Structure 1
Amino acid sequence: MAASGYRVDAVDLSAVALAKPREAGGTGVTYRQLDVERDGLDDLPHDAYDLITVRLGWAFVRDRTRVLGRLRERLRPGGALCVITPVAGAVPERERGVALDEEEIGLLCAGRESAGRYDADGLALLVLRGPAPAAPVCAGKGRPAAHALTGAGVVVTDAAGRVLPGWSVRGVWELPGGKNEPGEDFAAAAVRELEEETSLKAGPAGARVRAVLMDSVDGMPRVTAAVQVTAFTGEPVVTEPRLIRRWEWREPADLPGLTRPLFTPGAHVLDTVWPGLLPGLPPVHRYPVTRD
């Protein structure tokens, strides 16, 4: 290329690799020892290039996506990045560490205005131009195994500041609340569960998430949102008698004197709204949520 009149920068990590062509002489070539992955590209002899060629070295680059982006930034409009690489499927197994497989080649070619692939004496020669603008895309990794319980516990208070616990068929006092439905946020879950369990109606805008709590039950992580509701309509009634025997408005100051247990997540939710009200609670990780 230099003999054809182009200005050429020859860059390599190895001083030995640069020594022989430098000794051979020739004009129009600038030699520079540089690690393009770790040293950055500010030390390149020129700011912009019409062609950047990576020959037999891409498999040795660890942070390929980042380095690819930095190289692309050094191309002039219409410029091309050429990667010449062995292909894993065409070399002996012992040499596959210096080759790219088809998945890596696909990643290299993705998001380009054009990506040409040619065979060069058994090597893949990739000519990349671009990029092609695209919105970020999200994807899952298949259906996950069940790992944790998530839900909301609701502290609902009336105009007098009294709180509404329920006497459960399981022999504990508990707050309204329950698990999230798929796609449902904590505030929406709190409002839905409140209506389903007590018939009280509240709007999501009036449900304030005060904190996210994390503990465990029977070896499974449990995440509970502490939600406070102060604006609602209706009167509490038992809508699920298989779960709750009755709902009672109670003074918060009376809660430490209950003669029957509080359901642990509900106790942590109450302690979020009234810190220190219930001493001696089991351990919990608490992540307060501040208003915007």
Structure 2
Amino acid sequence: MDKQIISRDGTPLAYRRTGQGPAVVLVSGAMSTGATVTPLAAHLSDRFSVIVYDRRGRGASGDTAPYAVAREVEDLAALIEAAGGEAALYGVSSGGALVLEAAASGLAVRRAAVYEAPFADYGGGAQERAEYTGNLGEALAQGRRGDAVELFLRLTGLAPEMIANARRSPMWAGMEAIAPTLAYDDAVMGDGLVPRDRLASIGVPVLAVAGGASPEWLRRAAKAIAESAPQGVYRVLEDQNHMVEPQVLAPVLTDFFGA
């Protein structure tokens, strides 16, 4: 990241802008920095002015306590202002939930696209989310960052043996370093259910995308998002999973943002 902007509460945000054209801001998900969406930015920058940033508490960006989802919405407002006062937004996973909240908050968002925002569209989802929230808060309060990361990986469905391997890998230290931001993404997700009433207030086009090779509940969630937003569109990318290939997603986003 080679640029910096100051959010409303004084938090410095690191970002990079590439390409020319209408502005698009890319929002990463949990346990990640702006680097995770940089490959997608490369595929979009021939048509758009693409902003990639490190969300607060990660990478080269700062952080300010206490955390609130509204502060992350203000972060996006600052980036949109830097982009010229209006932008389209794209978010992946829990970053998608943040994008939807930003669009519902009345920011100058032209269009909003999300990939597999992990809302549950079934009754047990809220209970599972509540248990995770409680256990995560306890682990972070006690300084058990590794346990917090493991809780998150379990929530994503990663097998125990894969989690054990991850703990022994060189990347584990970096995951522990941003573990406190897991609580931020958890807050963004709310009770874990599709926020239908909130989505109904979004006044701009919304594209909800899911992978055909992902778990079926993620497709149900994307479909529910599209159905709840007044101008919602639902798309499935065949053979894609939660780690969507940027060269497959980029043409879909280009068509949507360029409309």
* Superposition TM-score, scaled by structure 1 size: 0.19
Greater relative contact order (CA < 8 Å, ≥ 6 in sequence):
2
Q: Which has the higher helix share?
A: 2
Query: Max radius of gyration: which structure?
Result: 1
